[in-house]
Amino acid sequence: MAVISSSFSYSVFHFPLPCYSAPSSRLSLSVSRTRLSASMDSSDELRAKFMEFPHVSGSHRDLMVELLSSVETRLGSSLQPCTLPPDVQHFGHPTGNASASLQLRPGLPSSQENLNMYQIDLVLGSWIHCKLPSGGTLNITSLSAYLKPSTDAPHFLLDLIQSSPTSLVLVLDLTPRKDLILHPDHLKTYYEDTQLDRHRQRLHKLPEVRPYISPSLYIRALLSPTAILVTIDVGASETTNIEEIIRDHVSQVAKELLQFWIESCACPERHLEESERAYLAERDRIIKNTTIEVDLGSSFPRLFGQDVADRVLTVLKEQYNK
């Protein structure tokens, strides 16, 4: 939800074994097991609800599930389980006109890392569904991943925003962590030598695709020069539909970009000076807080009501600033 939020991630839940001070207490053991089982059932249910993506088309849902599953398969050992409260993992407007599901997995703390682990700060995934006054619906699915200041590699960002059965906005990018003018090696390493712009060019060749210009100057400043920021509109076409374009074109580009990010960006830490790490940490902190305070802070109250928005945003801000 870069355009109206940040993204939120797939999660597999892990539960530590309970610790008992009195092994002979069968009642205590039984109660603990019952509570643990209930917690596991609740967590599994919330995870399943998140992975349903119940309001989008089949190819759209398949893409999100495949991307999130790839993140879990490749990066799962470098992530902690999701610890968001249940009423933040899934919530909605009291009237029932809007609902959302979020998952957030922080990276392992530095004390638990080894040199072969990915440098993940946090991974987030989400879906949002909202009924529009016009009678239509707004559906947003998102995935983003932030890296730690132990590397200056780009973050990952994906948003699919659909308010019509015949059109959607796609935001897909590896967002830079450094000024690409002051650091031309960064531009060359991650964007130029890798020919990253070929993905944008591929989609722009489709007659149904045209550039999308975000009204937010902040969003436009955040993205890289190879960012995919497009509107896909099939109109009244009888030969092409959104399902086919997502399945045949968007899906392939998104999967290739995520694979490149995992293999070439989220890798073991690079040697950075302490001043560089401090710069990256502060820059990332500003981006996260701006997302909460400006982007989500303006959209969530309108979508879900002030009380629900305050509850969710307070928890997310705590997670973002750990």
Tell me what the pLDDT averaged over the chain comes to. Answer: 85
Say which residue the tokens 């009642």 belong to: 27
Residue 145, in any domain of the structure: yes
Instruction: Please report which confidence band the pLDDT of residue 28 belongs to, taking 50, 70 and 90 as the band edges.
Output: very low
CATH of the domain at 305: 3.40.1500.20
Q: Max alpha carbon distance in the chain (Å)? A: 72
Task: Identify the DSSP state of 235.
Answer: T
Q: What is the mean pLDDT of residues 1-25?
A: 31
Residue 5, in any domain of the structure: no
Q: Which domain holds residue 237?
A: 57-320
Task: Identify the DSSP state of 282.
Answer: H
Residue 14 has pLDDT above 50, yes or no: no
Residue 240, in any domain of the structure: yes
Using a 10 angstrom Cβ sphere, with 0-12 exposed, 13-18 middle and 19 or more buried, the burial of residue 141 is buried
Residue 91, in any domain of the structure: yes
Report which secondary-structure segment, H or E, holds 224: none
DSSP annotation string for 66-118: HHHHHHHHHHGGGBPPP---HHHHEEE-TTSSEEEEEEEEEBPPGGG--TTS-
Say which residue the tokens 């993205």 belong to: 223
Instruction: Please report which confidence band the pLDDT of residue 42 belongs to, taking 50, 70 and 90 as the band edges.
Output: confident
**How many domains does the structure of the chain reveal?**
1
Q: Phi and psi at residue 14, in whole multiples of 5°?
A: -120, 140
pLDDT in tens, 256-271: 999 999 999 998 777 8
By the 8 A CB rule, do 249 and 98 touch?
Answer: no
Spell out the residues 6+ positions from residue 317 whose beta carbon is closer than 8 angstroms to its own.
Answer: 289, 292
Residue 247, in any domain of the structure: yes
